[in-house]
Structure 1
């Protein structure tokens, strides 16, 4: 039976994010709220009451600087405790946060801050401050910069501590000011301005209301999958709505969050923090899967045989369990044995306490989800967009159907439009695009339905499957439609060394692909194949690597329709990166950028 949700909470939601935060501080004052790494690499813990005290001072500081309701305040920083403090302070001062990725180039940073008319900017360090100084003439509205770790000049740039001191004095002179502000914020007031990183053209500012964030957190809380006793590990870019929605969920549920945005520290941090859940993009799970599989292949012999047998048994066990079939005693014994020998060791890599991961921002391969499920780690795939405040669908631990993104959030409606386009309506839908009325009218119809641009299907239980991005679907010269993401996911599931697999073929007689390998995963393989000590470029250009990739392409082709098969491919001598502009900060491929960068190489495969 599918899960059904009670939607009555929508009528009794708290009015705004400031009230939501202060309500949580009052309810959970002495409980742990946040945990963050110090410079000595130890972890510091903060209660809700302590966090509330800091937010009060910072919020008071913003008000002392003259912040008025809905005035924008930028944050250009990586994910860290101070990011959350700044965002909460902006909301409690009735301002609106404008998010900027720390990797955003100087020109786009200036554009976002100018287009949003930011009055104050929180800048992480001297690198971020330099971007602002170099473009100061283009930032006429920015009156003050507040830095977390950078150099303050006592004039245009002040420290976080100076802002807090300013706020403490301002609140002392104006008792009850923050309570008054919280009471005055309208539910439909602008809370966040998030600029989408788009594949072409200038980024668009998405206007998200206070009521949308309160709804998102409250809707997830109503699913009863999280409680005060959970511990989240948060590394996601907070400039991305996936990270922000997990923050609003924390306010609604009251669990503690350990925060560290350093991607290279994720695995080490999980072992130390031992969280009960974490949100992540599929690339994180792909990398973890690839690392586990390649390590077992490198071990070889008996260990590899035990590993393979464990997952053969595990898949049969989970199949019977999902079908409601009786599990034979022998199968149950084997499953328990392999849990001790194999599955528990995989769980230990993630701290040993994870109840589930939440996957979003891109499509998750169902084979990889099933692999982790066998090991006792559920991955709940969800779906959403910046324009719907991140979350709109998610699977439930008690009804997790691989390949789908689950049911709509309670209170959210879905229907399929022309060409099976997914349309969404509900409290999470944006107000519109900032200063772009024509773009808003294209995306939001007169009845309030947001047109996602994604193609999907709904099953008999109401669970949504995303079948492709409408603009990413292409037609071959033979008239056949091809959905690249589905093919790409299949390759990544069979090739543990893959980083990216990008399929092209619009208007051509057959499909081709560009391939990149994971620099970490390929090293053990190189040592096993006589390439020890070689550089990444030397490894991927070797005949051994070409032969290995060819084998996985053939394995993938065996699962495809004839017109979808990859006839030719090229292995790039470097991986795609965020810094190169070929990946978004949430690690999605900018397909148009990649195609433009390698058009000559793609054309050569049709000569």
Structure 2
């Protein structure tokens, strides 16, 4: 078996001058050719070796996405060491836990905040000995060096270390929605087999002409695997350091491909719907006519049928009037958009398809090196998670639990044999913790996270995700968490979309003081009451939200209320806001 980084030499041989990576420096986008990328990766690899890093040693990266992130990652893996990424949003406790657990002695820190955390950890009796930074504005303290100086005198000749079937490439600590972080052991062969499986499944043509924008955190298995896949097959990847700047990055970079989580599309969907609904009747008519025609076109494409001439013309008009503007905001060239990390409702996927913006829905976990199932390009089915990819297999176990096997499955959890044993059954099937079934056509349908399933005190079972999606598809709701476990009825903790509410309160005649007061305002509460009743009108009574509370601020990644892919950590939110939640049940 070979090393995941061997594509560097292969691509340099094929197209040395072609751009490999893009990044923003001093307010403009720059790029490195394959030849230059290989050179800098090899120098970094040799510098790591000179600093005592040996095969199977752990080296950590604690930074936002950047060119340096991927350079450091490739350099670590090239010498047979193991990359341990840490979310840039993680606080000191989490970083300390991961360094202690993995035994990393060198860490690459991104910004000042991350550097300060690393400095604090130097004298805590941890394995950590050395900090590398790339940002020149950071004032260096003890045991630190700039990446530039670190690699300056290193040689650019390198023999990439051969790796066997079982050799680790990376340890990815899953934040998980429960429990302590566990280091998922992913091997070189997990990655390489996943790359080939995707290529075979999607049958991309001229892939080296593609350009991906890395917008999700590289620490997450999804963006990391995808970025490495792109580079492996010679496509260019540009790195977005600050995900909040996604809107301008899309129009500047004009990527052809980008991974995302459902929340990204939900927000666009909600915003467009709101804009149309508050527009003139003519605007509404044009929009719904366009979507109707678009839906007919996308249905023909989905079923691989030819599109009649007349319909094609109508769709061109719809594109000129409506869809073109949305596509332009996405940079105008985006066509492949894998989406995972949480469930996405069928109506959102269908809506984007109608605009001619196809979202490739998939399902996977850190433990499976991302994709287990995905939408094929044709004959995919809305509301499902797609078909099996590569040699992945699925079996449905007890409680309808989805069990998986395949070459993407992790080696296990690092230093946690008992946790590893718990997640595999006696025949080597891995338990996902998700419930679902395979339909007749071989599509995976996910019903819910088993541990998220709620049972009311009246004995009714409620799967929160699909219901929560109905609400967060709305422009006034940013995050929502249902509460029902052991309770007589359903309540919800809601984070409003503060941007759209800023406008809305004006028309409600509410003066803005601060959000703490505004979310308690009678007019605001009755607006949300009406909104919630409209959205849930077709839900059965026991699933309906009876009471809710509006939060005055967004849930935070830092404090662990949501994961870096924006999934709510239910148990943490329930503990943290226990008194607020209890109050919704005590006024009987």
TM-score, normalised by the number of residues in structure 1: 0.91
d(CA) in 2 for partners of 1:205, 1:529? 49
Relative to 1, partners in 2 of residues 1:544 and 1:370: Cα closer, same or farther, differing over 3 Å?
A: farther
Per the TM alignment, residue 228 of structure 1 is displaced from its structure 2 partner at its CA by 1.1
User: Which residue of structure 2 lines up, in the alignment, with residue 249 of structure 1?
Assistant: 229
Relative to 1, partners in 2 of residues 1:330 and 1:401: Cα closer, same or farther, differing over 3 Å?
A: same
d(CA) in 2 for partners of 1:28, 1:392? 32
User: Which residue of structure 2 lines up, in the alignment, with residue 121 of structure 1?
Assistant: 107
User: Which residue of structure 1 lines up, in the alignment, with residue 581 of structure 2?
Assistant: 602
d(CA) in 1 for partners of 2:370, 2:569? 19
For residues 447-503 of structure 1, give each alpha carbon's deviation from its aligned partner in whole angstroms, at most 9, with x where no partner exists: 32110000011111211111100000011222221100011111223x222111211
For residues 21-50 of structure 1, give each alpha carbon's deviation from its aligned partner in whole angstroms, at most 9, with x where no partner exists: 3323333322211111112x1100111111
User: Which residue of structure 2 lines up, in the alignment, with residue 282 of structure 1?
Assistant: 262
User: Which residue of structure 2 lines up, in the alignment, with residue 364 of structure 1?
Assistant: 344
Number of matched pairs: 583
1:500 counterpart = 2:518: no
Greater CA deviation, 512-521 or 71-80?
512-521
User: Which residue of structure 2 lines up, in the alignment, with residue 98 of structure 1?
Assistant: 84
d(CA) in 2 for partners of 1:426, 1:321? 31
d(CA) in 2 for partners of 1:428, 1:324? 30
User: Which residue of structure 2 lines up, in the alignment, with residue 549 of structure 1?
Assistant: 528
1:165 counterpart = 2:161: no
1:192 counterpart = 2:161: no
User: Which residue of structure 1 lines up, in the alignment, with residue 64 of structure 2?
Assistant: 78
d(CA) in 2 for partners of 1:163, 1:298? 56
Per the TM alignment, residue 145 of structure 1 is displaced from its structure 2 partner at its CA by 1.4
Alignment of 1:436-447 (within 5 A): 436-447=416-427
Aligned residue among 371, 374, 378 for 1:398:
378
Helix, strand or coil for the counterpart of 1:135? helix
User: Which residue of structure 2 lines up, in the alignment, with residue 203 of structure 1?
Assistant: 181
Per the TM alignment, residue 532 of structure 1 is displaced from its structure 2 partner at its CA by 6.7
Greater CA deviation, 71-80 or 595-604?
595-604
d(CA) in 2 for partners of 1:214, 1:356? 21
Alignment of 1:82-481 (within 5 A): 82-149=68-135, 151=138, 153=140, 156-168=143-155, 178-179=158-159, 181-182=160-161, 184-222=162-200, 223-225=202-204, 227-319=207-299, 322=302, 333-481=313-461
d(CA) in 2 for partners of 1:209, 1:306? 52
For residues 116-173 of structure 1, give each alpha carbon's deviation from its aligned partner in whole angstroms, at most 9, with x where no partner exists: 00021111133222212212233542232111116464861011012212422xx6xx
Relative to 1, partners in 2 of residues 1:563 and 1:49: Cα closer, same or farther, differing over 3 Å?
A: same
User: Which residue of structure 1 lines up, in the alignment, with residue 503 of structure 2?
Assistant: 524
Relative to 1, partners in 2 of residues 1:316 and 1:606: Cα closer, same or farther, differing over 3 Å?
A: farther
d(CA) in 1 for partners of 2:527, 2:294? 28
Question: What runs of 5+ residues in structure 1 fail to find an aligned partner?
Answer: 1-13
For residues 351-377 of structure 1, give each alpha carbon's deviation from its aligned partner in whole angstroms, at most 9, with x where no partner exists: 111113111111112211111111110
Per the TM alignment, residue 575 of structure 1 is displaced from its structure 2 partner at its CA by 2.0
d(CA) in 2 for partners of 1:600, 1:579? 22
For residues 510-533 of structure 1, give each alpha carbon's deviation from its aligned partner in whole angstroms, at most 9, with x where no partner exists: 211111112223333334443475
Per the TM alignment, residue 591 of structure 1 is displaced from its structure 2 partner at its CA by 0.9
d(CA) in 2 for partners of 1:331, 1:221? 32
d(CA) in 2 for partners of 1:71, 1:321? 49
Greater CA deviation, 381-390 or 564-573?
564-573
The answer on whether the counterparts of 2:53 and 2:81 sit within 8 Å (CA) in structure 1 is: yes
The answer on whether the counterparts of 1:245 and 1:391 sit within 8 Å (CA) in structure 2 is: no
For residues 371-409 of structure 1, give each alpha carbon's deviation from its aligned partner in whole angstroms, at most 9, with x where no partner exists: 111111011111111111122221122233221111122
d(CA) in 1 for partners of 2:523, 2:213? 39
Relative to 1, partners in 2 of residues 1:316 and 1:33: Cα closer, same or farther, differing over 3 Å?
A: same
User: Which residue of structure 1 lines up, in the alignment, with residue 4 of structure 2?
Assistant: 17
d(CA) in 1 for partners of 2:307, 2:56? 58
Aligned residue among 13, 36, 42 for 2:23:
36
Per the TM alignment, residue 418 of structure 1 is displaced from its structure 2 partner at its CA by 0.9
1:45 counterpart = 2:23: no
The answer on whether the counterparts of 2:194 and 2:390 sit within 8 Å (CA) in structure 1 is: no
Helix, strand or coil for the counterpart of 2:418? helix
For residues 65-119 of structure 1, give each alpha carbon's deviation from its aligned partner in whole angstroms, at most 9, with x where no partner exists: 1111110000000111110000000011111000111221112211111210002
The answer on whether the counterparts of 1:320 and 1:326 sit within 8 Å (CA) in structure 2 is: yes
Helix, strand or coil for the counterpart of 1:384? strand
The answer on whether the counterparts of 1:411 and 1:426 sit within 8 Å (CA) in structure 2 is: yes
User: Which residue of structure 1 lines up, in the alignment, with residue 563 of structure 2?
Assistant: 584
Per the TM alignment, residue 64 of structure 1 is displaced from its structure 2 partner at its CA by 0.7
Per the TM alignment, residue 572 of structure 1 is displaced from its structure 2 partner at its CA by 1.7
User: Which residue of structure 2 lines up, in the alignment, with residue 3 of structure 1?
Assistant: none
Greater CA deviation, 307-316 or 211-220?
307-316
Helix, strand or coil for the counterpart of 1:187? coil
Per the TM alignment, residue 332 of structure 1 is displaced from its structure 2 partner at its CA by 5.1
Per the TM alignment, residue 564 of structure 1 is displaced from its structure 2 partner at its CA by 1.4
Helix, strand or coil for the counterpart of 2:247? helix
Per the TM alignment, residue 442 of structure 1 is displaced from its structure 2 partner at its CA by 0.3
The answer on whether the counterparts of 2:261 and 2:340 sit within 8 Å (CA) in structure 1 is: yes
Question: What runs of 5+ residues in structure 2 fail to find an aligned partner?
Answer: none
The answer on whether the counterparts of 1:120 and 1:143 sit within 8 Å (CA) in structure 2 is: yes
For residues 181-222 of structure 1, give each alpha carbon's deviation from its aligned partner in whole angstroms, at most 9, with x where no partner exists: 43x322321110111113444211111111111112221122
